[in-house]
Structure 1
Amino acid sequence: MKAVLSLALLITTAQAADWPTFRGPDRTDISGEKGLLKEWPSAGPKKVWTNEDAGLGYSGYAIVGGVLYTMGARDAVEYLIAIDTATGKEKWSAEAGALLTNGWGDGPRSTPTVDGDKVYAMSGKGTLGCYSVADGKQIWSASMTELGGKVPGWGYCESPLVEGTLVIATPGGAKGTLAAFDKTTGKLAWQTADWTDGAQYSSVIAVNHNGARQLIQLTMQSIAGVDAKDGKVLWKTEFPGKTAVIPTPIFKDGQVFVAAGYGVGCKAIKIGSNNSVETVYETTDMVNHHGGVVLVGDHLYGYNDKGGWTCMEFKTGKVVWTEKKLGKGAIHCADGMLYLLEEKTGTVVLIEASPKGWSEKGRFTLNPQTTQRSPKGMIWTHPVVSGGKLFLRDQELLFSFDVGGATPAP
C-alpha cells in the first residue's frame, strides 16, 4: 500500500511539473510545484545547461514530459523546436512559417501549446500549425490573415488555447476577433462575427462562469467574454488601449482584471449573474507593459511603469507596497516565491510572494547574453519553473537552472 501511495505521489508531482502553454495549464502563471529553493546561493542557482541554438525571437516555452517546446528563427525561417529538458539537446525542429521582421527583433513571439500527442504553434505572421510531438511532422495549418486578420505591428504573439476539442486563436478583423478550430483536423468551427476588433498581443483564458465555459480576451478596444461552444459574445466592455495591449487577463470569483502599458493602467470588472458588466476600479497603479501580472491569493504582483514593482489588492485595486530595487521586467510564481527578470540587464531576483513587502532571497545576472539581439530589443521572454528547473532565454541562448526540484515522495 505504501509503495502504491508513493507511486501516486510521484505521478502527481510529475504532472504538476508540466507547463503545457503560456502562463501554465490554467494561464495564471503560477506553478504547482513544491519543495523549491526558498533562498539562492550568493552566485545564484546552479546552471544545468545552455542551448546556444534556440533561434532568434521572444518565444516562451511549453514543457511536457521532459520535453521543452519553443520557437525560434534561423536564417529566414521560423521553427518550432523540441528540446530535451534533461540535457538541453535538440530533439527535432519543424518549419513554422516565414520570418517576421521587426525593428525590435525578428522572429516568433508566441509560446507553443501542448495537448496530448500534438503541439500547436503560431508564427509571427499568423500561421497556426498543429504538429506531432513525436517528430514535429505538421498535421494541419491555418492562416490568420485568410480569416480576415491583419498582422499586428509586432507580429502575432498570442499562445494558442486548447479548449476541449477546439483550438482558440485571435485572428482579429471584420470576420471576427476570435476563431475556433477543430484541434484534430484544423477545420474552422466558429468565428465571432459579432465581435470584430483587430488582434492585439494578449492570450485568451478560459473560465467557468454563469453556467458556461467563457473565453476571455483583451483587445485595443474592449474586454469580452465569449461562449466557448459557439463563439457567441456573452458580454463586452470598453478598454481603450494605446499603441499595444499585451498582458493576459486574470479572473477570480467573477472579477476580471486587465492591464496595459503606454500609460493606460489597469481595469477590474465584475461579471454579474446575467453577464452584466460593472466596473470595480480603473487606475494607473499597474501600468504593465508586457512583463505580466500574477494573482497570488488575494494580491496582484507585477511591474508598474509608473511606480516600480507593485503589490495591490485584487478586489479593490488598493496598492499595498511598491519597490524599485529592480528595474522593469517579467514575473513568474512557483512555491510561494516570485521569480523576477529585469529586461535590460538580465538580472533575476527571487522574492517572497507576500503583501508584507519586498523580501529578497537571492539574485544573479544571466550570463552569457546574446550578441545577436536587436539594439532595440531586451530580455523579454518570461521565466518559467518546471520540473525543479528555472528556464530563461535570451534570443538563441536557452538556459536551465536547478532551483531545488519537487518534493520527493515519502
Structure 2
Amino acid sequence: MRPFTNPNAQWRPAVLGQRIAVALFSLVLSTAAADWPQYRGPTHDGVCTEKILTQWPANGLRQIWKAPLTDGFSSFAVGQGLAVTMVKRSVEGADREVCVALDAQTGQERWAVPLGIAKYEKGGDTGTPANNGGDGPRSTPSIDGGRVYATTAQLGLYCLDAASGRQIWSRDLVRQNGGQNIGWENAASPLIDGDLLFVMGGGAGQALLGIDKHDGHVVWKGEDDPITHATPVVVTLLGVRQVIFFTQKGLVGVERATGQVLWRYRFPYSVSSAASPVVGGDIVYCSCGYGVGAGAARISRIGNQFTATGLWRLPAKTLNSHWSTPVYKDGCLYGLFGFKKFGTCPFQCVELATGRIVWSKDGFGPGGCVRVGDQVLVLGDAGELVLTQATPRGYTELARTKALTGKCWSTPAISNGHLYIRSTKEGVCLDISPGRVAHR
C-alpha cells in the first residue's frame, strides 16, 4: 500500500498550528495593550503596561497622524476609538474651552463641544522667549463606558456621549456645591474609579466630592480644605481602596466608597501645585512650587486606624515638582523637577524614602513623563521626546527625537502601540509598538 501523501492533509495541521500561534500571539497583544482613558493612564500613576519600541529610527518614530490644535495644556485621553483633549478656540467671537474628540487612528476631528469661557486670570503664557504663550485649558478629559467626562477651568463638570459629543449631564461645582475657584483656575482632571468620579471644588463641608458618573449626583462630600490644581489618585493602600487628594492643607486619604477620612499628612501652602501625589509601597510623595518644596509620608495601619508619619521635608531650592508629576519604580521617583525652569529643568532620580537626589540631568523643561516597564518616556516642554532607563545607577538615554513644535506642558499617553502627545499648536500620534521594523 502506498503511504498517504495527500498534500492537503499535510498542509492543514501546519496551517492550524500557525493559526493557533497567531491567535495566541493576538491574545497576548490584546491583554498587554490597553486604552489610556484618563490623565496619567488607567491606573492613575503614569505607568504603561505595554511593550514599546526602544531602538528608534534615526529619523524618529513613524508618524501616524498630525492634527492642528489650538492653545491648551490638556493631555490626551484615549479610548472608544477616540483621542480626546481640551483646547481654547474662538466660538462666535468669544474664546471658549472646547472638548475635542479626534479619531484615534486618523486624527480626524469627530466632534468638538464648547463647554465654558476660556479666561485665565493669572495666565500660563510664560516660557522661554522662543517658546511662550499658548495659554488654555489645563484639565484632561476622561473616557469611560461610552462617555467622556471633562472639567473646565471654571469648575464646570460635563458628561458627554462619546459617539456624538451630546451632553448627558453637567454640574457647576461652584454654584451647586458652594465652591470657589482658585488662582490660575482649575487644572485638575476628573478621576474615575468604578461608578464614582472624584473632584475637588466644593465649599465648606464639601471640598472633596465623590460623584456618581452615571447621572452626576453627589454620592459623598466632605472636608473644608482649600483646593489646589492637583488631580487626585486612587490606590489600594494597606488593603483599603482609597482616594488621595492633595489640598492646600496637605495630603488626605479618604475611603473610596464613602469619603471617610482615613489619614492626613500636614503639608500646608497657599499657592499652586498641579503635581499629583505619587505612591510607592506605603510611602506617598507630594510637592509644590513657589518656595514650598517637597515631602513624603509613610502610611501605617493597625486594625482600622491609619497613621501618616512624615519621613522627610525638603525646601524648594533643593527639590520640588511644579506641575510635572514623577513616576515611581523600585524605591525611586523619576521625573522633571524644578520651578519655572523653562527649557532647562532637570530629569532626576530621587530616592523616595529619603528625598536624596540620586542623579540629575539638565536640559528638559517642565513637560511630562510616563513609565513603560524599565524605561521612562519624557516629553520636554519644547517637544523633545526622550526615552531613558529607569535606574538609580545613572542617567542612561536610549533614544531621542524632536516630536512637536509649540509648548508642551502635558503628559504623554500610550495606547495600543500608539503614542499620543500634544503641544499648544498640534497633536501627534506616533507608532511606538515593538513589532515595527525601524527603517533608517
Q: TM-score, normalised by structure 1?
A: 0.89
Give the distance between the partners of 1:296 and 1:151, measured in 2 at CA: 34
Shift of 1:21: 0.5
Match of 1:157, SS? coil
Distance 1:339 1:210, change over 3 A: closer
Code of the aligned partner of 1:313: E
Alignment match of 1:228 (pick from 241, 244, 256): 256
Alignment match of 2:50 (pick from 16, 33, 56): 33
Give the distance between the partners of 1:333 and 1:210, measured in 2 at CA: 23
Q: Is the 8 A contact 2:299 2:308 kept in 1?
A: yes
1:179 aligns with 2:217: no
Listed as ranges, the matches of 1:275-294 within 5 Å are: 275-284=306-315, 285-294=318-327
1:99 aligns with 2:91: no
Alignment match of 2:409 (pick from 380, 394, 397): 380
Listed as ranges, the matches of 1:150-165 within 5 Å are: 150-165=180-195
Shift of 1:3: 5.7
Q: Is the 8 A contact 1:113 1:160 kept in 2?
A: yes
1:57 aligns with 2:72: yes
- The alignment-based identity, stated in percent, is 32
Distance 1:326 1:213, change over 3 A: closer
Give the distance between the partners of 1:325 and 1:77, measured in 2 at CA: 34
Q: Equivalent residue for 2:178?
A: 148
Alignment match of 2:333 (pick from 287, 294, 300): 300
Give the distance between the partners of 2:101 and 2:426, measured in 1 at CA: 14
Distance 1:197 1:355, change over 3 A: same
Q: Is the 8 A contact 1:210 1:275 kept in 2?
A: no
Shift of 1:278: 0.7
Alignment match of 1:122 (pick from 151, 159, 164): 151
Alignment match of 1:331 (pick from 369, 393, 415): 369
Shift of 1:23: 0.6
Q: Equivalent residue for 1:43?
A: 59
Alignment match of 2:107 (pick from 84, 88, 103): 88
Q: Is the 8 A contact 1:100 1:108 kept in 2?
A: no
Distance 1:353 1:94, change over 3 A: same
Give the distance between the partners of 1:7 and 1:349, measured in 2 at CA: 29
Q: Is the 8 A contact 1:225 1:233 kept in 2?
A: yes
Unaligned runs of 5+ in 2: 1-19, 125-133, 340-344
Give the distance between the partners of 2:156 and 2:205, measured in 1 at CA: 17
Q: Equivalent residue for 2:81?
A: 66
Shift of 1:4: 5.0
Shift of 1:305: 1.6
Alignment match of 1:259 (pick from 280, 283, 287): 287
Match of 1:56, SS? coil
Code of the aligned partner of 1:244: S
Listed as ranges, the matches of 1:340-359 within 5 Å are: 340-343=378-381, 345-359=382-396
Code of the aligned partner of 1:245: S
Give the distance between the partners of 1:162 and 1:228, measured in 2 at CA: 11
Q: TM-score, normalised by structure 2?
A: 0.83
Shift of 1:341: 2.2
1:367-387 deviation per Cα after TM superposition (whole angstroms, max 9, x unaligned): 5x34xxxxxxx4212222222
Code of the aligned partner of 1:159: S
Unaligned runs of 5+ in 1: 371-377
Match of 1:9, SS? helix
Match of 2:27, SS? helix
Code of the aligned partner of 1:265: G
Match of 1:10, SS? helix
